[in-house]
Amino acid sequence: MPTTPGTPSFAQLQVLLAVADAGSFAAAARRLNRATSAITYAIDNLEAQLGLPLFDRVATRKPELTQAGRAVLAEARAVTHGVDMLRAKVKGLLEGLEAEVSLAVDVMLPTARLVDALQGFQTTFPTVQLRLHVETLGAVTQLVLDGTANIGVSGPNIAAEGTESIAIGGVQLVPVAAPFHPLARLGGQARGSAREHIQLVLTDRSKLTEGQDFGVVGPKTWRLADLGAKHALLLAGVGWGSMPAPMVRGDIEAGRLVELDLADWWAAIYPMHVLHRIDSPPGPAAQWLIERFKSQV
């Protein structure tokens, strides 16, 4: 007939972990600064509550976990880890640490910079949740302005009243096309021909930069709101366009894309800025992210 196990206390689970990790009841007692009899009593009560023998104390001189004991131990570790994380989070909240940071980044931000910042963030603030938005141009600023994001990493510095903006370097843009695209086949003779071919242009879903063009050299354009789609079309030979150098470096080296030599193109640097609302200053975790992005320059 099935029975319902009792509910062990957190203290009992701590004793179970201490015995398993220390290897004996006496060693666990020393670790917890308690009498060995108290440790034995706690384990006896835990086994009685659960209705399962957790240690084999007959066949061996040292207590060894039974199969059921190993299964319970794994769950006990998860429970105690969860409680430790809860206490750490509450401690952080009491000290003014955010429960969550919402970050919006421009799609042009090199992946290596983003990964570096978020890896460090995870290590430094393990209890703080992070929400990441990836947008283009003015859409990043818009998310900061409407409070969706605490901080943003935007591209060209878009004047937005009520925000503080800090320059954090930039990323080089290079004009590229597939090797079989007409511009690529022209080689050095393509210098003045770019405006005669379709240019793939990254566009914006926000009103802040609606109608503004960045790096457009001719009237023939296809507008895309997704950098991944632009990359795929370039590889397929559908038009030419500028891309962040780190993103296409491997394609150029492998011959999948060709960097174009264009007279009407300049060595463009796409500037990056980190921004936040002045009336919502960043907390400790968000400020750490800002400093990390600044240190990467």
Q: Average pLDDT of the chain?
A: 85
Report the distance separating Cα 187 and Cα 135, nearest Å. 34
The 10s digit of each residue's pLDDT in 17-70 is: 898 888 888 898 898 899 988 988 988 898 888 888 988 877 667 888 889 889
76 near 16, Cβ under 8 Å?
yes
| Mean pLDDT on 168-187 | 89
Q: Do residues 155 and 169 lie in contact, with contact meaning Cβ atoms separated by under 8 Å?
A: no
pTM for this model (two decimals): 0.64
Provide DSSP, the chain.
Answer: ---------HHHHHHHHHHHHHSSHHHHHHHHTS-HHHHHHHHHHHHHHHTS--EE-SSSSS-EE-HHHHHHHHHHHHHHHHHHHHHHHHHHHHTT--SEEEEEEETTS-HHHHHHHHHHHHHH-TT-EEEEEEE-THHHHHHHHTTS-SEEEESS----TTEEEEEEEEEEEEEEE-TTSHHHHHGGGGTT-GGGSPEEEE--SSSTTTT--SS--SS-EEEES-HHHHHHHHHTTS-BEEEEHHHHHHHHHHTSSEE---TT----EEEEEEEEETTS---HHHHHHHHHHHHT-
Rounded CA-CA distance 249/132 in Å is: 25
Report the pLDDT averaged over residues 207-215.
57
Q: Look at residue 139 in the predicted model and tell me its pLDDT.
A: 87
Give me the residues paired with residue 172 across strands. 269
Does 209 have pLDDT greater than 60?
no
Residue-wise pLDDT for 94-133, tens only, equals 666 888 999 999 999 999 999 999 999 999 999 899 999 9
Judged against a pLDDT cut of 50, whether residue 2 lies above it is answered with no
Provide mean pLDDT across the span 184-190: 70
